Homo-oligomer: A and B are copies of this chain.
Amino acid sequence: MTRTRTPVPQARGPSDHEVRNQIVEAATEYFGHYGYEKTTVSDLAKAIGFSKAYIYKFFDSKQAIGEVICSNRLSMIRSAIDEAVAGAPSASEQLRRLFKTLVESGSELFFDDRKLYDIATTSASEAWPSARDYEGHVKGLIERIVRDGREAGEFERKTPLDEAADAIYLVMRPYLNPLLLQYNLDQADEATARLSSLILRSLTP
């Protein structure tokens, strides 16, 4: 029995992947201008010039689009944090830079893209996967830095590692979670520098 060979698909216009990107890009701009909470997929469709049905072929809901926007932004913040931490000469300095960078990135989003910040607060209050992943990433990073600092003799070792790391995360949380950060922006640089020093004093061997 001979099989007919499946023909190699011809490029017939943009791929699904490209269309998804196009929608996300347009939505980022649209939500950035008109806000996320108060706009609908219909508004968005009209603005992009797509039908609502066509957008729903690619995304199940407005949240699904918001989730990609959020996730894109958070991966930029994660990269900024990872980069800042990677260049630090000691575990202490890594913790300082981690804290400083996450506050700077969050404040930047708040001040430069106030409307997109809405998506961030929604994602935090509804615990979207992107928000939970980001929190998990920061928690993991703190634990890794504390472990490294202990191994290098830089930090105390009496407190259980998870307890020490968790407490540090709790100190940083009001500056990391966008729901809380919006009330903490006043003198956030000075506050986080002070809190970093307190954290480091708590880690003294």
Contacts and interface: CB of A to CB of B under 8 A. Distances in A.
Contacts of A168: 198
B177 A183 contact: yes
A195 interface: yes
Interface string A165-178: 01110110110010
B201 A163 contact: no
A108 B70 CA distance: 34
Contact of A171 (B180, B183, B195, B204): B195
Q: Is the interface of A mostly helix, strand, loop or mixed?
A: helix
A75 interface: no
B183 A195 contact: no
Contacts of A173: 174
User: Which size class do A's interface residues fall under?
Assistant: 20 to 34
A105 to B, nearest CB: 19
Interface in A120-161: 125, 156, 159
Given A201-B202, A204-B204, A194 B166 contact: yes
A1 to B, nearest CB: 63
A199 B197 contact: no
A64 interface: no
A191 interface: yes
A179 interface: yes
A117 B179 CA distance: 18
B197 A167 contact: yes
Q: Which residue, A125, A173, A198, A202, has most C-beta atoms of chain B within 10 A?
A: A198
Q: Which residue, A125, A174, A203, has most C-beta atoms of chain B within 10 A?
A: A174
Contacts of A199: 198, 202
A156 B183 CA distance: 31
